[in-house]
Structure 1
């Protein structure tokens, strides 16, 4: 079952997040059992060339490749999709107009305004018609909900045709409320819960970027009804395990 179909039926799907931009991380996370990986263009030094290589590597390893684009903007979305990405996560979608813009930039006329280019996604010009059909049927567009304005407008955002679901960015959500990083506060959690509730009511997939590597945190989000889970970050897995092992070594030396 494709990611698009799982999202359509609100079925559980778990992926992870690439920030190091190394193909070895793709292969390691594939063996861990993830279904998809997100390439982060917003907060990393990953450039377009590296993104294209990572998309190829992710797909070659039997996973689907999503890209968190740097902004809701024509050129970055067009280029990433022409590279052959399976979908995009669009940051800072705060209104219905933002969601409509994301869908328009990702889809061809008459539905959208995406310019036509012939590159990897279209098999270098060999299968443009087939790719057009694929875009209509399988392209994944996720709205990242990471501002209090987005939480307040969530029903309008997820009502936009072409938006497959919403994923919450907890750090920016808390920052938009004046308390960066304090996403366990009651008021921030209330905003997050309002997004969960709206998605459930409207039968739309809802997700969360669980940055912690602790599995219990991920399981808690699943129990809350999240079905689209981005589990931690490539270097968080490495960092946390390295720190845990070295702490044990230092304790043993003492």
Structure 2
């Protein structure tokens, strides 16, 4: 029997590394994804919202991550029924849906990711997720193994967080600090005290609702602060941010100049 267990979903439920640490993939390159997967990150976020990754590209990137110890989290471009179906069929097991504002949008996202009777995901027997039909129990287990993470990215969404978290089938929430700071009038400044206060409140509200919550930060110091707030899993920066940051540092050393600072918003996806 071919196993389709979703390790990341088990981690959300309390097993495995605590907290799981990841990074964002912005390069849209299988080689970079594979390299980052061997670096020690627990999970890698494949971003289809802000990166020109199509479903065919995604399959190649998921294959590359599958050669490593890391788990893949696919950030959807939008809360779209057809796209979610295609991404799941392409091999994703954990999806993250951006800009969820209320419980109705949360219910839609869950329904798109689940087969009937719990959702409306279209059924196919042969695709990457079913190991091309060799995982003969895929259709019976998929609803339990697919993980749905919903992003809350505005003050209004965080205000409605308890009702969003209460929707059956929501496995975790994820706070988007970049969009949150922009919606609060502090675009590019996730360190603003008012933004930080709402980020901290969101973690407390998620735990009160009984759901794990994740976030992304631009550097180890900010991520450590988020973990201290109570965040259960966290991503740090991105492949591109780390590459360009290291390149800038080394060039600055050789040229005897100070490298340009990395913007705080660079990893606040």
State the TM-score, normalizing by the size of structure 1.
Answer: 0.92
Answer yes or no: is the 8 Å Cα contact 1:19–1:46 preserved in 2: no
**Structure 1 residue 202: Cα displacement:** 2.4
CA distance in 2, matches of 1:189, 1:14: 20
5 Å-filtered alignment, 1:66-77, equals: 66-77=73-84
Answer yes or no: is the 8 Å Cα contact 2:38–2:68 preserved in 1: no
5 Å-filtered alignment, 1:15-94, equals: 15-94=22-101
State the TM-score, normalizing by the size of structure 2.
Answer: 0.87
The corresponding residue for 1:3 is 8
CA distance in 2, matches of 1:121, 1:86: 8
CA distance in 1, matches of 2:201, 2:228: 16
The corresponding residue for 1:114 is 121
**Structure 1 residue 126: Cα displacement:** 3.9
CA distance in 1, matches of 2:62, 2:184: 34
1:167 aligns with 2:174: yes
Query: Which structure has the highest helix share of the two?
Result: 1
CA distance in 2, matches of 1:142, 1:187: 25
Offset from partner CA, 1:179-199 (integer Å, 9 cap, x none): 212222232222222211111
CA distance in 1, matches of 2:233, 2:198: 18
Instruction: Point out where structure 1 has 5 or more consecutive residues left out of the alignment.
Output: none
1:202 aligns with 2:215: no
Offset from partner CA, 1:50-74 (integer Å, 9 cap, x none): 1111111111223222210100011
Moved more, 170-179 or 101-110: 170-179
CA distance in 2, matches of 1:58, 1:28: 9
Answer yes or no: is the 8 Å Cα contact 2:23–2:45 preserved in 1: yes
| Local SS of the residue matching 1:162 | coil
Number of corresponding residues: 249
Aligned-residue CA RMSD (Å):
1.7
CA distance in 2, matches of 1:138, 1:12: 20
